[in-house]
Amino acid sequence: MELPRAENSAARLRYVAEAVSTNDSLAALAADPDEPTLSVFLTLSQTAGRGRLGRSWIAPPGKTLAVSVLIRPLLPSGEPVGIENLGWLPLLAGTAMTRAIDALVGHARTTLKWPNDVLIDGRKVCGILAELLPSGNGVIIGAGVNLTLGEDDLPVPTATSLALAGVAGAGTGAAGAELVDAVLGGYLEFLAELLGRFLAGGADARGSGILSEVARVCSTLGQDVRVELPGGTTLTGVAKALDASGRLEVLSGANGEIQAVAAGDVTHLRYE
């Protein structure tokens, strides 16, 4: 598959016709310390993908993009980014994907649901999963994008695809190289830009302007939300802001206190 725009932004780009999991495939390659940051592994047929919280991610072959990107985040000094700031990486990826898809959809219809879902008109078109390498010296960020799924292909009624959103060239057959390159190329360009600013700013999301960039596209902020927290507890309230580590600050409806959420399954209550 010819992907000139994506190849221009990737340090290395590997396309395969089918993969079990692009995250696993890239993680195996990343065991080589010479595998560079912004290496990319993609397929249009992933047979055993996974999402957050151990969920499976399966889609008809040829209609979705599964892509993983390796990031070895280093500060200008050469020091690794502190683990307390790694939570920004999936948010950078989500923001980059939101911008890339909205460039195709238009009219500011594409938003980011904290922490890892990209929505078109409130319906999920992309999910993101970030995983720390066993060595601890890098992060694999996987993304699954619904390209040409029709209504009958959707896994849940709250999902959508670029085809259903009316993107030109996104019919309901197998996705072509031009569509893949438009999505992936835009994603990698925006991701490289945001990552560069974040690292140049010392991984200070606020000082580098990254926090405001993420907040600008994050439709969760200002919403009434329900957050299913690890361990089985539930938090209901209003999503107020992102903190310096990328956590979601929720004003609890139960006690009126702000609680910072690092991980959880968020529901926008207006969409129920």
State pLDDT tens for residues 24-65: 999 999 999 999 999 999 999 999 876 655 556 667 889 999
pLDDT reading at 66 higher than 50: yes
What would the mean pLDDT of 57-83 be, rounded to a whole number? 92
Q: What integer pLDDT is reported at residue 174 of this predicted model?
A: 82
**Six-digit token pair at 56?**
């499976």
- Taking the domains of the chain in order of start, what are their residue ranges? 4-215, 221-271
pLDDT band of residue 169 (cuts 50, 70, 90) is confident
Residues 6+ apart with CB under 8 A from 191: 38, 69, 92, 93, 96
Domain with residues 221-271, CATH architecture = Roll (2.30)
Q: What integer pLDDT is reported at residue 272 of this predicted model?
A: 44
Q: Looking at the chain, list the stretches that DSSP marks H as alpha helix, in order from N- to C-terminal side.
A: 4-9, 22-29, 88-105, 177-200, 210-217
Please write the tens of the pLDDT for every residue from 219-270: 999 999 999 998 889 999 999 999 999 999 999 988 889 999 998 889 998 6
How far from the centroid of its chain's Cα atoms is residue 196's Cα? Answer: 17
Q: What integer pLDDT is reported at residue 223 of this predicted model?
A: 95
Percent of the chain with pLDDT over 70: 96
Domains 4-215 and 221-271 share a fold: no
How far is the C-alpha of 263 from the C-alpha of 223, rounded, in Å?
17
The CATH superfamily of 4-215 is: Bira Bifunctional Protein; Domain 2 (3.30.930.10)
What would the mean pLDDT of 199-214 be, rounded to a whole number? 97
